[in-house]
Structure 1
Amino acid sequence: MRSSANTFADMMNIPEYYAGKNVLITGATGFMGKVMLEKLLRSCPGVNTVYVMVRSKSGQSPQARITDMISSKLFERLQGEQPCFAEKIIAVSSDLTKPELDLSKENQTLLAESVNIIFHCAATIRFNEPLKDAMQLNVLATQKMLALAHKMKHLEIFIHVSTAYANCDRELIEEMVYPTPVEYVKLIDALDWMDDELVSVLTPKLIGQRPNTYTYTKALAEYLVQQEAGDLNVAIVRPSIVGASWKEPFPGWIDNFNGPSGIFIAAGKGILRTMRASNDAVADLVPVDVVINATLAAAWYSGSQQKNRPKSILVYNCTTGGINPFRWGEVEYHVISTFKRNPLDQAFRRPNVNLTSNHLINQYWIAVSHKAPAFLYDVYLRLIGREPRMMKTITRLHRAMMVLEYFTSHSWVWSTDNVAMLMAHMTPEDKKVFNFDVRQLNWAEYMENYCMGTKKYVLNEELSGLPAARKHLNKLRNIRYTFNTILVVLIWRIFIARSQMARNIWYFVVSLCFKFLSYFRASSTMK
């Protein structure tokens, strides 16, 4: 019998493992899912077929949605390297919220006979989703996927993508599945007969110390996977706050306003001026390509270890805070400095954000820096005959800020032993191709690429427009200086010039400043 050391030494590399395999991906049209699809096809060219479960949407068939997706900027590099890559992608019509995943009998048979690897990435990422909807998408869909997996004759590994915040009610989060305070089976049964109003009333009590239904249902899904996996080979990957790509397929790729991206854009536009956050709290951002590389490697490791796999489910905390910490105060600094050097087109104001952990101070700045300017701007728009829009924008921004507030005000400690173990078993070449070593991550460079990515890929702004954007920002600066000067003059005329006491105080302060300057000048001369 081989020793474990020899077993690891004899393991095939990652591309070799995927060669000839049939892979099934849920959530392939989502942010992480499409990055996984691109990376898998590009870095494992020997993969046989990739089935993607997609539902019809807005009158588009599953195949039409996939065709549109692979025509995007994300797949340009793959298109150049493998022009015929699309032939390996098969869109499977499915709806995860419906019985038997809404799969036809033919597709059920096809998947049962051919699939070797499952990546279950599909989930709702709306933090404030009603509990019933979150349960449908995050828990019941996972249960249906496991039922489908049990029918697969050649399945080697089932990867469930969770979140590092599933157990955010704990300060130390280890790489293990934690029991839940409520039995998911009983909750599923109860929600079946409860009306929406009753569920809404009970939700705060059910989720307890967790901030939202997203983290709560992801924890339930993890426990369900543990309980219903049976003899399936299963692993769980838990990313933290997933952001723009670090390196692949190119730096800074991002295609949505979700999570911190929308906040960065609002800051760059000068709309976001204050945010409740702790400067010292760790911002556990993790690039999307790091998560995907770790996920593909996790499937390779568990799939290659069928005979020697551990009895418990392997859980991977895919985080950065404990390895290469980066704090929210630093995030704010790099976002603002990047957008001052490379402004967004037609900014509302010059970028400047004040982070505070004090609720009252934050509310004051919201009133002064958000609501008042938005109201005045909407009045101006009405006067020139245009539709007012800034107050609506501010309202949406505040909703997003409230969702993120919990995560920008707390820090956690995650165990990452399994991630380190996974990396240790990879060949030097695999470590380069499937790099998830965040110790190498330069945060200043990453944040600049992230911010420029929002400009190029989310807002579709051309870099050729930077000179005009800089000119516009200088104009906004001049307007601010002029406004502040007029304000000082008005304060002088209205308050100080009319009061002898105010004038005396003013002259005393000016005299004091003059004396200090004279003292420092004299000290410098003596030296």
Structure 2
Amino acid sequence: MVNIPEYYAGKNVLISGATGFMGKVLLEKLLRSCPEVKAVYVLVRSKAGQSPQARVAEMVNCKLFERLQAEQPDFAEKIVAVNSDLTLLELDLSKEDQGILAENVNIVFHCAATVRFNEPLKDAMQLNVLATQKMLALAHKIKHLEVFIHVSTAYAHCDRDLIEEVVYPPPVNYRKLIDTLDWMDDDLVATLTPKLIGERPNTYTFTKALAEYLVQQEAEELNVAIVRPSIIGASWKEPFPGWIDNFNGPSGIFIAAGKGILRTMRASNDAVADLVPVDVVINATLAAAWFSGSQRVNRPKSLLVYNCTTGGINPFHWGEVEYHVISTFKRNPLDQAFRRPNVNLTSNHLINQYWITVSHKAPAFLYDLYLRLIGREPRMMKTITRLHRAMMVLEYFTSNSWVWNTDNVAMLLSHMSPEDKKVFNFDVRQLHWAEYMENYCMGTKKYVLNEELSGLPAARKHLNKLRNIRYTFNTILVVLIWRVFIARSQMARNIWYFVVSLCFKFLSYFRASSTMR
């Protein structure tokens, strides 16, 4: 078999979801590590008055593409923006664009999806299932298609404890569900949604499972593979460590913890946090397309599924995540933190609710009251409300663990040449979690919040100030509690005077010793 860059040389690639987090990294890596690729067609819809071409031009002008820009200054000439809307008939492609894609494309990466876990079922079906069906219909028209890669999620079948690298039958017939949702009003759909999704936690995992089965059923003679990443995080190495550009998933939670806003979270310390770096997922995806495309003549009868996860190979637990996030942000604090970073993880619902009231809602209420008194707009309660919604969405994943079979991923790695293993590395056994988590947290500071590292001394000074305020407040509170509620008996007063006199003697001795020196 040819190596991976040689396979992509002279090929035309089509990417859906190229403006999303994964899509951007896929586009950058493909162009940088496979420089002989002929062209990359990206499906992009007009948005906020911007044409697809303008959106792509703005996208490739960000930090992510700086390394590619330095190595290949003319890389943007290979990117062809195609006006498309995945929710519309025939993807809203013009006849001319349909003809161009049908004649030229060799490889399809279908990355587009909604990543909102609590999306209404109709919307999730439209974006995750129907869009996949339309992409497959387009793929059937492509004359020289070698491989179709569908990006799913490792949690598509999270109602199972053990998840093999196979497509499982869904709980409902997707064709009947599509027809049914077509005539149902939104209120009726919302009422039926809990019954439909069953033991799955949200519409995202439910519709991704339906999409996988749809791919299996409607691919027919197409050469198809499915890549299932778990919780996608910041980059491990490429194009540089710690790159992240959004608040989705754990990133927003990390930032809230670093700011001191998040103080408690319902999670199990011992549950496996199946984080997987985005560049690991992209490298595995490109390698999966190479392997299936190279083997298309003698391909297996069943489509290949790749569970791109870390928990079974290099496990990392939520308790460890919390430790590394807090320790990183204490050493390298975020600007203008609300409080010192400190998070308590608990699996007990009542304890979590108590700490939410004491550590989240009460301070937020007092802070908003202070803002009102000085004539500013209150904002902390709104922030806390948004944070709680995000935490509720993640609770299911931070409180449970799964076992994923990764035999196909190991097989894929074994077929790669030593050079390809270096350039397209997805061997997570090499991942050092402490280093990765520090880069991840610093990435949220630099690339999501756009905070300069030159501001770290001021941020550390601010954190020390918050620490002193906390110690002072706690001391005053202890004294008040003692004086008001405890020091009512003679014995309590005697103990109080004894402690105070000891402290006074210690301070006097310390002062005398300093004078003698």
After TM superposition, give the deviation of residue 499 of structure 1 in Å.
3.8
Is 1:381 equivalent to 2:371 in the alignment?
yes
> Which secondary structure does the structure 1 equivalent of 2:241 belong to?
coil
> Residues 114-263 of structure 1 correspond to what in structure 2 (within 5 A)?
114-263=104-253
After TM superposition, give the deviation of residue 502 of structure 1 in Å.
5.5
After TM superposition, give the deviation of residue 496 of structure 1 in Å.
1.4
After TM superposition, give the deviation of residue 504 of structure 1 in Å.
8.2
Is 1:395 equivalent to 2:381 in the alignment?
no
After TM superposition, give the deviation of residue 306 of structure 1 in Å.
1.1
Aligned match of 1:99? 89
Letter in 2 for 1:58: A
Corresponding residue to 2:25 among 26, 35, 41 = 35
Q: How many angstroms apart in 2 are the aligned matches of 1:36 and 1:455?
A: 23
CA contact (8 A) 1:381 1:388 kept: yes
Aligned match of 1:327? 317
Deviations 1:30-53 (A, max 9, x none): 000000000000000000000000
Aligned match of 2:358? 368
TM-score normalized by structure 2?
Answer: 0.95
Aligned match of 1:64? 54
Q: How many angstroms apart in 1 are the aligned matches of 2:493 and 2:129?
A: 69
Deviations 1:211-241 (A, max 9, x none): 0000000000000000000000000000000
Deviations 1:92-119 (A, max 9, x none): 0000000000000000000000000000
Aligned match of 1:47? 37
Letter in 2 for 1:424: S
Q: How many angstroms apart in 1 are the aligned matches of 2:424 and 2:498?
A: 66
Aligned match of 1:515? none
Q: How many angstroms apart in 2 are the aligned matches of 1:53 and 1:316?
A: 24
Is 1:350 equivalent to 2:351 in the alignment?
no
Deviations 1:125-156 (A, max 9, x none): 00000000000000000000000000000000
> Which secondary structure does the structure 1 equivalent of 2:340 belong to?
coil
After TM superposition, give the deviation of residue 56 of structure 1 in Å.
0.3
Corresponding residue to 2:431 among 433, 438, 441 = 441
After TM superposition, give the deviation of residue 410 of structure 1 in Å.
0.2
Q: Which runs of 4+ in 1 moved over 2 A?
A: 498-510
Letter in 2 for 1:406: Y
Q: How many angstroms apart in 2 are the aligned matches of 1:51 and 1:105?
A: 16
> Number of residues paired by the alignment?
500
Letter in 2 for 1:89: I
CA contact (8 A) 1:276 1:358 kept: yes
Q: How many angstroms apart in 2 are the aligned matches of 1:321 and 1:345?
A: 33
Cα gap change, 1:509 to 1:237, in 2 (>3 Å)? farther
Cα gap change, 1:506 to 1:169, in 2 (>3 Å)? farther
Corresponding residue to 1:495 among 485, 498, 501 = 485
Letter in 2 for 1:239: P
Q: What percent of counterpart residues are identical?
A: 89
Aligned match of 1:461? 451
> Which secondary structure does the structure 1 equivalent of 2:454 belong to?
helix
Deviations 1:337-366 (A, max 9, x none): 000000000000000000000000000000
CA contact (8 A) 1:495 1:502 kept: no
> Residues 277-356 of structure 1 correspond to what in structure 2 (within 5 A)?
277-356=267-346
TM-score normalized by structure 1?
Answer: 0.94
Letter in 2 for 1:12: V
Q: How many angstroms apart in 1 are the aligned matches of 2:62 and 2:201?
A: 35
CA contact (8 A) 1:242 1:286 kept: yes
Q: How many angstroms apart in 2 are the aligned matches of 1:380 and 1:499?
A: 38
Letter in 1 for 2:124: A
Cα gap change, 1:476 to 1:311, in 2 (>3 Å)? same
Q: How many angstroms apart in 1 are the aligned matches of 2:43 and 2:243?
A: 24
CA RMSD of aligned residues (A): 1.3
CA contact (8 A) 1:25 1:50 kept: yes
Is 1:270 equivalent to 2:260 in the alignment?
yes
Q: How many angstroms apart in 2 are the aligned matches of 1:23 and 1:271?
A: 43
Letter in 1 for 2:161: E
> Which secondary structure does the structure 2 equivalent of 1:56 belong to?
coil
> Which secondary structure does the structure 2 equivalent of 1:160 belong to?
strand
> Which secondary structure does the structure 1 equivalent of 2:171 belong to?
coil
Is 1:112 equivalent to 2:113 in the alignment?
no
> Which secondary structure does the structure 1 equivalent of 2:354 belong to?
helix
Letter in 2 for 1:201: T
Q: How many angstroms apart in 2 are the aligned matches of 1:246 and 1:135?
A: 32
After TM superposition, give the deviation of residue 174 of structure 1 in Å.
0.2
Q: How many angstroms apart in 2 are the aligned matches of 1:438 and 1:240?
A: 13
Q: How many angstroms apart in 2 are the aligned matches of 1:165 and 1:92?
A: 31
Q: How many angstroms apart in 1 are the aligned matches of 2:422 and 2:494?
A: 70
After TM superposition, give the deviation of residue 497 of structure 1 in Å.
1.7
Letter in 2 for 1:108: Q
Q: How many angstroms apart in 2 are the aligned matches of 1:105 and 1:370?
A: 55
> Which secondary structure does the structure 2 equivalent of 1:281 belong to?
coil
Q: How many angstroms apart in 2 are the aligned matches of 1:257 and 1:60?
A: 23
Q: How many angstroms apart in 2 are the aligned matches of 1:420 and 1:176?
A: 15
Corresponding residue to 1:471 among 452, 461, 469 = 461
Letter in 2 for 1:85: F
Q: How many angstroms apart in 2 are the aligned matches of 1:296 and 1:418?
A: 14
Q: How many angstroms apart in 2 are the aligned matches of 1:126 and 1:484?
A: 40
| Segment drifting more, 492-501 vs 381-390 | 492-501
Unaligned runs of 5+ in 2: 501-517
Aligned match of 1:481? 471
Q: How many angstroms apart in 2 are the aligned matches of 1:248 and 1:412?
A: 28
> Which secondary structure does the structure 1 equivalent of 2:2 belong to?
coil
